[in-house]
Amino acid sequence: MSKDTAKLSFSGGEHEFSVREGTIGPSVIDISSLYKETGAFTYDPGFTSTASCDSQITFIDGDEGVLLHRGYPIEQLAEHGDFLEVCYLLLYGELPTKTQKEDFDFRVTRHTMVHEQMNRFFTGFRRDAHPMAVMCGTVGALSAFYHDSTDISDPHQRMVASMRMIAKMPTIAAMAYKYHIGQPFVYPQNDLDYASNFLRMCFAVPCEEYKVNPVLARAMNRIFILHADHEQNASTSTVRLAGSSGANPFACIAAGIACLWGPAHGGANEAALNMLAEIGSVDRIPEYIERAKDKNDPFRLMGFGHRVYKNYDPRAKIMQKTTHEVLGELGIKDDPMLEVAMELEKIALHDEYFVEKKLYPNIDFYSGITLRALGFPTNMFTVLFSVARTVGWIAQWKEMIEDPHQRIGRPRQLYTGAPKRDYLPINKR
Ligand code: CMC
């Protein structure tokens, strides 16, 4: 608690509110008693000034372009870490020792298969369904298949549900892809690391030997790390809000996936690549820059701008390096899309409109090019994001459930509809 207080003069009264300090980051004015004291609500559409919870998991300084998980900079985790190590860190607060890591890997690995009956569940979908639609349905259905880990008041069941979700998401995502392209499902292979196993489940076929390329597996591992958590973003807040009612974790994660699908959030990587394809060549960039600046045109440069980052997204820098590593490994020298992307980035970083509004490239600007080079079709991009973000959602959900002050989330509103009026029979309207 800070010594500072915030004073509010309102409706003839003086009110004082305590100010809370986090470890780092802005102070927070605690207005939880505001309604009781004044009878008024606060108004903050889009929650641009509202902290919805206490959290010890992730910190972002958007002005400085800093992202920390449990205090560790994303650059260090992406450079030296392994995705399951980052999962452990997000879930338990500390990096694992060697024994803890081995035990965690073992526990996750034992849950990689899905109930065999789920294969039939997949075949109920149309083959041309968007894989994110399939993800929403199948992940939501996990609560029907794993009912023995849906009691959220039992810490053991919470732990089992968490392991199950982290372990099964790559399997389900790969199944969504295989079903979409009409190939047989590939079972997980538990002696492979998380990223390699996922690549194999996506790209192996039963009739051929599949060798995982270690450079591509490292890139996949890094993509998973970069997307693992991002504090109280839209999908995480959705998971927390859904979970605040006591809903089971599988249902909450399905809600998070639905939110992530939107083009302003996780769907931006797919939208960014589609945009680069539409621009097609460097000479057409000025036309699209003009459109992005035109208030009467709904077009936006996908992969640019961020609610929190008003500086270069630190994840975008690492992603850019990964993109070059992957293209180098695959011998892709003259990728026209990369050429458009690099030129677009250069122009936007110097254009007055983008500079003034602090619109920098975000992670989605480069992730699409890398994922396409890895062999994924655009409609799988957000699916991969959801695989990686599952651990963040789970860690945030667990933190909320374990918070002794946790209550159901229930925002208020400024009602602007009709005042009270009387019902009129149809012949009098
Ligand atoms: N292209 C052109 N103009 C933009 C863009 C853009 N990409 N982004 C923001 N602006 C303008 C916007 O028109 C507004 O202008 P004005 O003040 O004149 O009305 C100003 O910048 C502020 O934009 P905003 O919409 O109020 O900002 P926001 O914080 O509500 O939205 C955003 C953030 C990410 C939704 C938005 O920047 C955007 O739509 N970007 C493109 C989609 C995208 O790349 N999303 C991925 C986000 S990163 C991955 C993730 O976390 O999911």
- The pLDDT tens digits for 89-136 are 999 999 999 999 999 999 999 899 999 999 999 999 999 999 999 999
- The answer to whether 277 and 377 have CB atoms below 8 angstroms apart is no
Residue 280 DSSP label: -
CB-ligand 1 contact for 266 (6 Å cutoff): yes
pLDDT band at 390 (very low <50, low <70, confident <90, very high): very high
The two structure tokens encoding residue 84: 């399951």
- Establish whether 306 is a catalytic residue: yes
C-alpha 307 to ligand 1 mean position (Å): 7
C-alpha 416 to ligand 1 mean position (Å): 27
Residue of 165, 127, 395, 135 whose CA lies nearest to 258:
135
Q: Which of 300, 311, 360 to mutate to test the pocket of ligand 1 (most atoms within 8 A of CB)?
A: 300
**What is the Cα–Cα distance from 102 to 292, expressed in whole angstroms?**
49
Scan for tokens 């590593």, then name that residue. 325
Return mean pLDDT, the chain: 94
**What is the Cα–Cα distance from 312 to 314, expressed in whole angstroms?**
6
**What is the Cα–Cα distance from 342 to 370, expressed in whole angstroms?**
13
pLDDT band at 269 (very low <50, low <70, confident <90, very high): confident
Catalytically annotated residue among 105, 180, 306, 313: 306
pLDDT at 2: 67
The answer, yes or no, to whether residue 3 has pLDDT greater than 80, is: no
Over residues 170-199, the mean pLDDT reads 96
pLDDT at 1: 62
pLDDT at 208: 94
Q: Which of 304, 312, 363, 393 to mutate to test the pocket of ligand 1 (most atoms within 8 A of CB)?
A: 304
| Helical segments of 81-116, H only | 83-92, 98-109
pLDDT at 424: 96
**What is the Cα–Cα distance from 229 to 161, expressed in whole angstroms?**
18
CB-ligand 1 contact for 368 (6 Å cutoff): no
pLDDT band at 178 (very low <50, low <70, confident <90, very high): very high
CB-ligand 1 contact for 267 (6 Å cutoff): no
Over residues 143-149, the mean pLDDT reads 92
CB-ligand 1 contact for 235 (6 Å cutoff): no
The answer, yes or no, to whether residue 68 has pLDDT greater than 80, is: yes
The two structure tokens encoding residue 231: 């504090």
What atom in ligand 1 is closest to the CA of residue 46? 30
Residue of 174, 225, 231, 179 whose CA lies nearest to 197:
174
Q: What angle do CA 243, 271, 229 make, to 5 degrees?
A: 35
C-alpha 260 to ligand 1 mean position (Å): 16
- Establish whether 130 is a catalytic residue: no
Give nearest CA residue, ligand 1 atom 35. 264
Give nearest CA residue, ligand 1 atom 21. 357
pLDDT band at 218 (very low <50, low <70, confident <90, very high): very high
C-alpha 375 to ligand 1 mean position (Å): 29
CB-ligand 1 contact for 304 (6 Å cutoff): yes
Span 288-310, pLDDT tens digits: 999 999 999 999 999 899 988 98
Length of the chain: 429
pLDDT at 349: 87
Residue of 9, 53, 426, 75 whose CA lies nearest to 231:
53
**H or E element in which residue 255 lies:** helix 249-260
Residue 307 DSSP label: S
pTM: 0.92
Q: Find the largest Cα–Cα distance for the chain.
A: 79
Using DSSP's 3-state secondary structure scheme, residue 204 falls into coil
C-alpha 394 to ligand 1 mean position (Å): 27
- The answer to whether 152 and 249 have CB atoms below 8 angstroms apart is yes
